[in-house]
Structure formats: structure tokens, C-alpha cells
Copies of this chain bind each other. A is one copy, B any other.
Amino acid sequence: MERIMLAHGSGGRLSHELVRTLFQKYLGNPYLDQMNDASLLPGREQLAVTTDSFVVSPLFFRGGNIGKLAVCGTVNDLAVSGAIPKFLTLALILEEGLPMDELERVIESIAETATEAGVAIVCGDTKVVERGSADKIFINTTGIGYITDRLVGPEQIRPGDEILITGTIGDHGITILSEREGLEFQTPVVSDCAPLNGLIDAFYLPGVKCMRDPTRGGVATTLNELAGQAGVSMLLVEEQFPLSPSVEGACEMLGLEPLYLANEGKVLVIVAPEVAEEVLLNMQAHPLGRNAARIGQVQEGKFGLVLLETPLGGKRIVGMLEGEHLPRIC
């Protein structure tokens, strides 16, 4: 069987075959192998739960694919919430006619990334829709994590706190854009797509107040959310943003603001000033945080404004993303 057929989503014989030959083969573990309507899992008194659907186009891009992204996105939402990611569910919507080997590569990548992130795929679902009713593969992952004693959240943020980012910004956004539009750069841009729980475990100290992964909408939108929730202002210093030369070049050429580009392997961290330096050094000592930098500071200001200091010393307001310049980034 070289292509996905409608019968693979029937719940009947071909559905069972797909489960056995693909999902159990790559993803099998004692939870998944229960093969009942629901999987029984060990829990905790406090849980963190998050859900995300992935519709990225193209399916495969430099540095990742929709499967890797679907694991990272959900693992990261748990990790930035201060939780330990433990379990993922996996639900696929497939377009009739999808080449089976593309699906297999995606599932293989899900297996690899789940192992890297230390999470188990505990249950799943597959639906198949007629040709033309979906675009190849859509994936939902829902994540369950155990709560730690990490007290993080926007309500912890105070004026004077420092704003750190764990590395260069905009890499994922520019990668997708360049793959989609066939743009070529001297040094190809690679998506930063990565599970971030290991990095967070490496840099976390008490004094870390809040963490977010700036995906859709980028750093600007994420900081606007936080500033609004915390009732503070934020001042960013443009010159301090870590940017890869290719992303910088692409942004100049295309008139894009790196602050609005999606990232899939970065954490924005708000940290008390007295531990900022130590947290930053911890980040830089980890392979995923080598380019970590201070990019700004939290200030008084109840309107939740995010301000940007430009290289010439001027300041302007940076709002949330308006409209949509690059759909299906994740």
C-alpha cells in the first residue's frame, strides 16, 4: 500500500493495519500498547495540559518537519509553564492519496523527537479525508506534564526584571518563508525547531519569573501578551537581539521585522535582576542556548506597552502582530 486511502480512516481492517505497521512499530510503549478507548496513565495531584494543532506547509523543511514540530511545540508549551513534559497524544488528519513514505518519515521523526524530549506517545487517532479536503497532513498533539515547584507565570513579573532570550530570533519563520517562496541565501537558514525542556532544566534557577516560547506572532506578540497580563511595560533594545546573518539579510531584503517572526526553539525568560547573569551563563553553556542574550528590561507602566529602543536612540511602540504575513508557519 503506497498511498493513504480513505479506508485507512474507516476504523476497520486497514485502520488496524496502519496502527500495527506504523504507529506501534515506531511509537510503541506500554501506554500506547494498551490499545483501548482510553489509555491509563500514572498521574499527579497537579497536572499541566496543553493542546496544539500543526498545519505547517511545506511538511518538510530545513531543520525539521511537521512531526518534529508537533512534538516540540507541545513539549515546549509544557516546559515553559514550569512543568515536566510526560505524555503526548497524537491525532492525525490525513489527505487521501498521501504517499505512505511521507507519513512514515513524519512518524519516524515524531518517535525520535519524543525520545529526545523524554515523552511517551500514549494514545492516538487517525482520520482520512477525501483528496482536496485537507492539505496532506494535519497533526494535533496534546501534552500532559507534571507540575514542579517552579513558580513561573506573568503574575510574578516585576519592574526591574530582565528579559532574556535563549538564542537567535526568526530562524523558523525565515526558513518556512524561504522554502515556500524558493528563496536562496548564501548560508541556508535552518529552523530552530527543538524540544526545550532540557535547556530549561539547565538554566532554571529560583528567580526565573516567567517563560514563554515566542512561536506564532514572534517575540513582539509574546511580550505584548506578558506585559498586558502582568500590567507592566517592557523596553527592548534592538541592537541586543541575536540574529543570524541570513535572517538579518532576509529581513532587510524583504522588509520583515524579526520581532514578529516565529521561533520554534527559543524561550523568552523574565528573570529577577540579581540572577540574570547566572541564568544567562547557564543558557550559554547549553548547546541550544549558545547565542542567548539580554534583550530588554521590565518597567513600570500599567498599560502593558512594549517599547523598542532603536540603534539611533529613538523609542517606538511595538504592538501585537496585526494581520497575518505568513500563514501556516506551524
Report which A residues bind B (CB closer than 8 A).
5-7, 9-16, 35-55, 57, 76-78, 80-81, 83, 87, 89-93, 122-125, 127-130, 132-135, 138, 140, 142-145, 147, 153-154, 212-213, 215-217, 221, 225, 229, 319-324, 327-328
Contact = CB atoms under 8 A, between A and B. Distances in A.
B133 A7 contact: no
Contact of A216 (B10, B55, B323): B10
Contacts of A127: 53-55, 138, 328
Contacts of A10: 216-217, 321, 323-324, 327
Nearest to A54: B127
16 contacts: A10-B327, A11-B215, A12-B221, A12-B320, A36-B81, A36-B154, A38-B49, A38-B78, A39-B48, A39-B50, A40-B48, A42-B47, A49-B122, A55-B127, A91-B142, A134-B138
Contacts of A212: 37
A45 B235 CA distance: 44
Contacts of A225: 16
A45 B47 contact: no
Contacts of A38: 48-50, 77-78, 80-81, 83, 143, 145
Contacts of A83: 38
Given A37-B77, A134-B133, A91 B43 contact: no
B147 A144 contact: no
Nearest to A83: B38
A153 B92 CA distance: 25
B142 A142 contact: yes
Contacts of A124: 51
A318 to B, nearest CB: 12
Contact of A11 (B46, B55, B147, B221): B221
Contact of A91 (B53, B153, B328): B53
B217 A12 contact: yes
Contact of A52 (B52, B125, B138, B319): B125
A41 B50 contact: no
